[in-house]
Amino acid sequence: MTSNKTITIAVLLVTLSSCISRLEQHALYGTVVNIQKHPIVNCSIGETTTDSSGYFYLPEKRYNQFLLSELFIMEAPPIAYNIPVKKEGYKTTYISFINPRGGGTKKGASRNLDTIYLKKKINYRTNE
């Protein structure tokens, strides 16, 4: 009888301490162009760069949280990110997102950012 209780307690502890997946950042994709709608090649977006057509893809980021600790909170964690979009000679812009309970989103979460426009920096000394 004691071994059955021990097994039951062990199974219960393993179940309560199992991990659940939480969203840190959506998979993000889109195209970066200039004001004339020409693709910007090798534009830096987070950990990636744009290809010859200005297209980029950042994979989804997730982390694991123990179920037991999540039971005390009783709601999905917030999600927030601010990713720079940079290219030499252009003004930097940011991909920003905040959701107070977005961390509970299922695997496979993505956002199509469509088209991101970058403006050229103006050099006032040379008027370019």
* 47-74 tens-digit pLDDT: 999 999 999 999 999 887 766 555 555 5
Q: Provide CB contacts within 8 A for 120, sequence distance 6+.
A: 34, 35, 89, 90, 91
pLDDT of residue 51: 97
> Distance between alpha carbon 61 and the CA centroid of its chain, in Å?
6
The secondary element (H helix, E strand) that includes residue 11 is helix 2-16
The pTM score is: 0.74
For residue 19, give the nearest of 59, 61, 63 by alpha carbon.
63
The mean-pLDDT minimum among 39-48, 94-103, 112-121 falls in 94-103
The mean-pLDDT minimum among 13-27, 41-55, 80-94 falls in 13-27
Which amino acid, residue 92?
T
The mean-pLDDT minimum among 16-25, 30-39, 55-64, 67-76 falls in 67-76
Q: What is the largest CA-CA distance in the chain?
A: 88
Q: Is the pLDDT of residue 14 over 70?
A: no
For residue 67, give the nearest of 16, 10, 11, 13 by alpha carbon.
16
